[in-house]
A and B are shown apart, each in its own frame.
Chain A
């Protein structure tokens, strides 16, 4: 079977169903009148697994569209940069973490090129974000994080 849309989805559904079901079996099941924490998860997991199988069966019998080729650049860079934002927001503070995120994610575009204008724009945007979220909206996010020498 080729890696078509339905094959990928069916395998995904069935895998989640089997794993969730196996875990749920270790929870107390209870009886219908006193459902335990495992009761509902087991039912839903079984349905999930069956649905996954049915999607696979459909792929086998009727075929389904192929998955379009994936441009990996943006798919890898953006989640990575967002994770980096999570790692740095307390340590660098909001403005620098935002600057890192803007420049980093912008690099995911195939049209990305370094220019002074764009860099200045990113810096101004980070400053505005800091003002807006921390000063105006009062969100409890540090402006300068623990990695910076001058933070409190």
Chain B
């Protein structure tokens, strides 16, 4: 099927009245929950998952995409209005975005973010439509050795781009792999780490762990210093960018989109890298670098465009290889598996309506975001101002019901409470949980591909270096690790990531 027919098929899937309505609800709910302070995209998506359970697969998937974009944009709104980045990739947005808000230009900053995101989202979607089929075809030629190397690359990238020390991130990734082993070993039927409990035979449910560590863990951490949380919300004024704004932000949006599209494909944490690089580049080539950090609209538009373009193209490794690029993507895979869809190269050929429907609804999600957010921005600002003491009991309820409804099993609720405590512990000791979440999905895949590789090669591990694709991927991994040990990059990484917590 060529791209045009594919897009047409997608359009007919995504624009049925019910699918369109659910996409709208997804965007709406995603933004509404995403703007709440202290709720990053992971917590938002996992809280909203039960809303998709009763739906047909294509509708559920489309609504999920809507929730995903809504939560991303909601994060930018909190970043600009409150100086609270919901996740690491919106840290850069706070630099100039909140500065603009303080100068009374909050509306224009939000508009710049929305317009930049929409443009980048459109380009990103087109890029997926063109590149994903090609990559999926390529992926079918990959053997287990290539997959294993890709997984190693993904894990290393996520460690390198995590704030805090590399050693801690490495430990968190290993811990995620150990948690991933719980349950029945698919090859031998042997149960591992189940301690005789039938509830653990199917393994630890990924969504339960993510909700516990991120959703509940955040609540516990936020309640530690309630008195210090009196963050103020900047008032929203004039929404529409001036002619001067348009002139200043057009080129940065274009450049940010380019950077985002390219970096988003990297497994690991391409989204984060994209927004940081776009900001750094604008600052470097600007004629007025001294304005950056003091409310330059370029410093909002470029990273937001990059952020969104990368958020779009990071669907590519997920859809074509079945490998999540970020912790949020890992959660999306978890959600798809709950729906009975296994993302991977076969998805495009076996469920084309699903694949193209998703691609088109991504674009529709972006369009709805633009239409929904600019007029409703006053309402979002009010939502942000809800005091936390009213908010957190509701978060507890939604996470508890959400987790329960995955398998209708109360065991998952207890498990979430336990992992909430663990998430709190990680925050207390300064360990970022993102690599753990990614490794929870990638760990079992790594074991499976390692096993297959060694089975085919009769136990000869040199096969990872004799396959050119695998060798190339491992070379990139080593370069990445070497670069982090070089003093120059280390300094940049520390400066860039230290505020990400």
Residues of A within 8 A of B (CB): 5-6, 8-9, 12-13, 16-17, 20, 23-24, 27-28, 31-37, 39-41, 44-45, 47-48, 51-52, 54-55, 58, 64-65, 67-68, 70-71, 74-75, 78-79, 81-83, 85-87, 89-90, 94, 98, 101-103, 105-106, 108-112, 122, 125, 129, 133, 137-141
Contacts and interface: CB of A to CB of B under 8 A. Distances in A.
Interface stretch (B125-133, B163-171, B262-270, B378-386): B163-171
A40 to B, nearest CB: 4
B244 interface: no
Interface in B175-208: 175, 177-178, 181, 185, 187-188, 190, 192-193
A129 B397 contact: yes
A5 B430 contact: yes
Interface in B385-430: 389, 392-394, 396-397, 400-401, 404-405, 408, 410-411, 413-414, 416-418, 420-421, 424-425, 428-430
Given A24-B192, A70-B428, A129-B397, 13 more contacts: A13-B171, A20-B193, A23-B192, A48-B171, A48-B178, A70-B224, A71-B225, A86-B413, A87-B410, A90-B410, A105-B393, A109-B226, A137-B50
Given A35-B450, A52-B171, A133-B401, A82 B190 contact: no
B422 to A, nearest CB: 9
A34 B418 CA distance: 35
Nearest to B187: A37
A136 to B, nearest CB: 9
B396 A78 contact: yes
A112 B389 contact: yes
Contacts of B167: 51, 54-55, 58
Contacts of B181: 40-41, 44
A101 B400 contact: yes
Contacts of A70: 224, 428
A55 B401 contact: no
Given A78-B216, A86-B413, A138-B54, A32 B454 contact: yes
Contacts of B425: 8, 12
Contacts, number: 191
A27 B389 CA distance: 48
Contacts of A140: 408
A129 to B, nearest CB: 7
Contacts of A48: 171, 174-175, 178
A22 B149 CA distance: 28
B429 A44 contact: no
B312 to A, nearest CB: 29
Nearest to B415: A86
B91 interface: no
A109 B421 contact: no
Nearest to B458: A33
Nearest to B396: A105
Given A79-B418, A86-B404, A89-B410, A41 B178 contact: yes
A8 B165 CA distance: 15
A35 to B, nearest CB: 5
B220 A75 contact: yes
Contacts of A39: 451
Contacts of A110: 226-227
B291 interface: no
A140 B50 CA distance: 11
Interface string B34-58: 0000000000000000110110000
Given A33-B454, A82-B416, A125-B394, A28 B188 contact: yes
